[in-house]
Amino acid sequence: MLMAQIREYRPEDAASVEECFVVLQNHERSVEPLRARGEVVLKPYLEFMFKRVAERGGGVFVAEAEGKVVGFVCLWLRNPEDELMNEPGEYAHISDLVVMPEYRGRRLGSELLRAAEDYARAHGATRLKIGVLARNEGARRLYENLGFEELAVFLTKELEPKQGEPAA
């Protein structure tokens, strides 16, 4: 059985978290081709992710196994509800969750989510949200098995240019 530890992110984890993020982004790109390559958005996205943690509270937790970081989850605590459409309030949001492919199927994703949920609950959150690409069936199953329910569904349609008009 794999012995893994879930712990808070440390600065020395940066290179491993970057590698995990690239794997996550490129996996999402395989499901949704409009996603940018992980290598392209790595630096600006992680800068944004950590800035959001600092602004809204929360944290990054890593899964460490066999002496290395093999996954992470990022949680933002104080996210305002859409004030035009929803009752006023805040929710905790999981922005990213990834486990390296060779470590999947070993409950590390569940353990990372549980750490984020426990942290959110301990800091007063009463609602936790996570986004998932519609075609990312493995992630959807994991989230649903852990009690997440669909809240909204966004649909998309590619439009062909009219006959005789060049594509934009």
Domain layout of the chain by residue ranges? 4-145
**At 158, is the pLDDT very low, low, confident or very high (cuts 50, 70, 90)?**
confident
List of residues 6+ apart from 115 with CB closer than 8 A:
6, 61, 73
- The CA distance from 103 to 71, in Å, is 9
Residue 31: pLDDT over 90: yes
Amino acid, single-letter form, for residue 121: R
Mean pLDDT of all residues in 14-24: 98
In this structure, what token pair is assigned to residue 134? 């519609």
Mean pLDDT of the chain: 94
pLDDT tens per residue, range 57-96? 999 999 999 999 999 999 999 999 987 888 889 999 999 9
**At 3, is the pLDDT very low, low, confident or very high (cuts 50, 70, 90)?**
confident
**At 137, is the pLDDT very low, low, confident or very high (cuts 50, 70, 90)?**
very high
Which pLDDT value is given to residue 168?
63
Which pLDDT value is given to residue 162?
86
List of residues 6+ apart from 133 with CB closer than 8 A:
28, 31, 32, 139
Mean pLDDT of all residues in 129-145: 94
Phi then psi for residue 42, to 5 deg, are: -50, -60
* 76 in Cβ contact with 61 (< 8 Å): no
Give this prediction's pTM.
Answer: 0.90
Which pLDDT value is given to residue 156?
85
Which pLDDT value is given to residue 2?
77
Which CATH superfamily includes the segment(s) 4-145? Gcn5-related N-acetyltransferase (GNAT) (3.40.630.30)
